[in-house]
Structure 1
Amino acid sequence: MASFSEREQAFENKFKHDAELRFKIIMRRNKLVGLWAAGLLGHTGDKAEEYAKSAVESDFEKPGHDDVIAKLMADFQAAKQEMSEHRLLKQMEEMLDEAQRQITAE
């Protein structure tokens, strides 16, 4: 029975680790997308960093990435910056790959 209990604990630890890793990757993706969007909106330096932080924070409103998309699309529209949801989703996909590379390299 001890081996079953040990395997169960190992599985739970792996699940927890994987969930934490996924969370870090998603947050890094949101920051990268926020920095990308900030550049398109004309923000630089500290203002770009603040904007990226607001993109990360927007992801805590609802499950999934729809809240991030809604925030960025609203900001692009307010700035009269042309952006399609499809282009934004494609950029988020690319940034997810980059975020995964960055986090796993740490």
Structure 2
Amino acid sequence: MAGFDDREKAEEAKYAHDEALKFRIEARRNKLLGLWAAGLLGKTDDADVSAYVTEVVASDFEEAGDEDVYRKVSGDFKAAGVNVSEADLREKMSTLYLKAEMQVKESS
């Protein structure tokens, strides 16, 4: 029984580690997305950029998945008259996820 218990604990530990890593990658991606979007929105003041990045990162806590972040940035683009297509925004989110994944894994 000890072998089974050890394996179960190892699986639980791996799952917890993987979930924590995924959370860190998504948070980093959202930060990078916020920085990119802030530039397109014409935000140049460091305080404005920082506040906007915080808003983008916080938007990810509304629901599971990426749709809440997509809606936040897309809505801000529409309100400001910034023309970025859905496909382009989703592609940018994917690209930045890969970049964030690399950054997080390098820092671990």
- Global fold match (TM > 0.5): yes
Report the Cα distance in structure 2 between the residues aligned to 1:52 and 1:85, rounded to whole angstroms. Answer: 20
Shift of 1:48: 1.1
Q: Give the TM-score normalised by structure 1.
A: 0.96
Unpaired runs of at least 5, structure 1: none
Query: Which amino acid in the other structure matches residue 104 of structure 2?
Result: I
Unpaired runs of at least 5, structure 2: none
Following TM superposition, the consecutive aligned residue runs of length 4 or more in structure 1 with deviations greater than 3 angstroms are none
Q: Percent identity?
A: 45
Report the Cα distance in structure 2 between the residues aligned to 1:70 and 1:8, rounded to whole angstroms. Answer: 39
Report the Cα distance in structure 1 between the residues aligned to 2:53 and 2:88, rounded to whole angstroms. Answer: 18
SS, match of residue 58 in structure 2: helix
Aligned to 2:33: 33
Query: Which amino acid in the other structure matches residue 47 of structure 1?
Result: D
Deviation per residue, 1:23-54 (Å, 9 max, x gap): 11011111110110001111122211211110
Report the Cα distance in structure 1 between the residues aligned to 2:21 and 2:68, rounded to whole angstroms. Answer: 21
SS, match of residue 83 in structure 2: coil
The size of the alignment, in residue pairs, is 106
Q: Give the TM-score normalised by structure 2.
A: 0.94
